[in-house]
Amino acid sequence: MNTTIDTPSPDRPAPGQGTPAYARVPASYYDIFVGVFIALLILSGVTAAKLFYGPTVPIVSDLFYDGGPLIFDGGAFLFPFAYIVGDILAEVYGWRRARRAIVLGFTMLVLAALTYTVVSWTTPVEGFEVWDQALAPMLRITVAGFVAFLVGSLLNASIVVRLKERMKERHVAFRLILSTVVGQFFDTLIFCTIAYAGTISLLELANYTVTGFGYKTLVEILIVPVTLLVIRALKRREPTYRAPGFEIHRDENPAVAPAASR
């Protein structure tokens, strides 16, 4: 009777040996970008609770805002970069993995909303009552954020992927800019309406909405050259990108037909 003897190896230690086993993680930059993506979303959601006055732009302010300054929220500093990371995920990793990152981000925003709610129910120690005042608007802000984010980000990623199916590797900048304009339009409109309608005047709401859309879109367009450099670097470094037999299948993006083999 033949007996097969298992030879110990680093991946398969012999019984009784103390070497721990671990699951393998593919070599990829994907998880790094997802982590940055979620961090940007959470930080933007927290800081969006503060509205502040920006500069007064002579022509724009005179025509639309009675000569007053532009209105921003604190999320203006970081949120445009969340969309930039979303563009990178969609362009390099495809619809399925971009959608996974969006769902994870959405889940973390929901968790944040629940956390703010639970904390607001607690009785503060003397001297910490101001925390409740700061936390009070966070639930509404967070709900507005994850609804707007889900709609805008899915539109953004879908446009990037659908246009890539038609244009292949061409006109990346055009695809990024077009997806940004559409995604940011719906994101900003939904967020501003849910978060601040009824709490500020209609003129201030219009100021805030138009300013937010214009500012975030402009920032992302100005950073497109840097975004393109990052995308090119990732496409060169990711071992599976454009590898033999690589193609975007229907399960990568159910909205499009399978691409022909390159």
Using alpha carbons only, give the angle 193, 207, 54 rounded to the nearest 5 degrees.
Answer: 120
19-33, 83-97, 136-150, 218-232: which range is least confident on average? 19-33
For range 163-172, the mean pLDDT: 87
4-18, 89-103, 136-150: which range is least confident on average? 4-18
Confidence grade of residue 258 (pLDDT, cut at 50, 70, 90) = very low
Phi, psi (deg, nearest 5) at residue 5: -105, 125
Q: Which residues of 3-39 are buried (b: 16+ CB within 10 A; e: fewer)?
A: eeeeeeeeeeeeeeeeeeeeeeeeebebeebbeebbe
Structure tokens at 166: 């038609």
On the question of pLDDT at 22 being above 80, the answer is no
- What pLDDT sits at residue 186? 95
Question: Using one digit for the tens of pLDDT, what is the confidence trace for 179-204?
Answer: 999 999 999 999 999 988 888 888 88
19-23, 150-154, 244-248: which range is least confident on average? 244-248
On the question of pLDDT at 255 being above 90, the answer is no
Residue spans of the domains in the chain: they are 30-237
- What pLDDT sits at residue 203? 85
CATH 1.10.1760 fits 30-237, yes or no: yes
Q: What is the mean pLDDT of the chain?
A: 81
Between the alpha carbon of residue 212 and those of residues 1, 53, 70, 192, the distances in Å are: 77, 12, 9, 9
On the question of pLDDT at 21 being above 80, the answer is no
- What pLDDT sits at residue 262? 35
Q: What percent of the chain shows pLDDT beyond 90?
A: 35
CA pseudo-torsion sign 163, 161, 79, 135: positive
